[in-house]
Amino acid sequence: MAVLVMSQLFTMIILMLVGVILNKKKYLSENDAKELSVILVKVAVPANMIILLQRPYSHEIFVEFLKVCTGTLGVCFIATILFYVVGK
């Protein structure tokens, strides 16, 4: 699994580098570079995440997912209260 993730990340890094090089060499107009960035951020990254996160269902994974969600919401709630108190 880790090898698959690393290969996908490496592929995305290469795509970004190609875009940067093409932009620096003026093969792309400013508008084209912005459009490619939008495509990469709004299409390629989410699609890559969906593909990489697909795995068979198991009860243990679901329980761990719920624990992470609960912890994340707890941290957000505590941070909101702290920022509200400190901000006053």
Residues 48 and 63 in one domain: no
Q: What is the pTM of this model?
A: 0.42
Residues 24 and 49 in one domain: yes
CA distance 87 to 71: 24
Residues 6 and 48 in one domain: yes
pLDDT digits (tens, 9 = 90+) for 38-81: 777 777 778 777 777 777 888 988 888 899 889 999 999 999 99
**Residue 23 domain boundaries:** 1-54
CA distance 51 to 7: 13
Q: How many independent structural domains does the chain possess?
A: 2
Indicate if the alpha-carbon torsion angle 15, 54, 75, 86 is positive or negative: positive
Does residue 2 surpass a pLDDT of 60?
no
CA distance 80 to 88: 12
CA distance 81 to 37: 36
Residues 47 and 14 in one domain: yes
More confident residue, 75 or 5: 75
Residues 45 and 84 in one domain: no
Residues 19 and 50 in one domain: yes
CA distance 41 to 47: 10
Mean pLDDT of 4-8: 69
Using a pLDDT cut of 70, give the percent of the chain over it: 91
Mean pLDDT of 14-28: 79
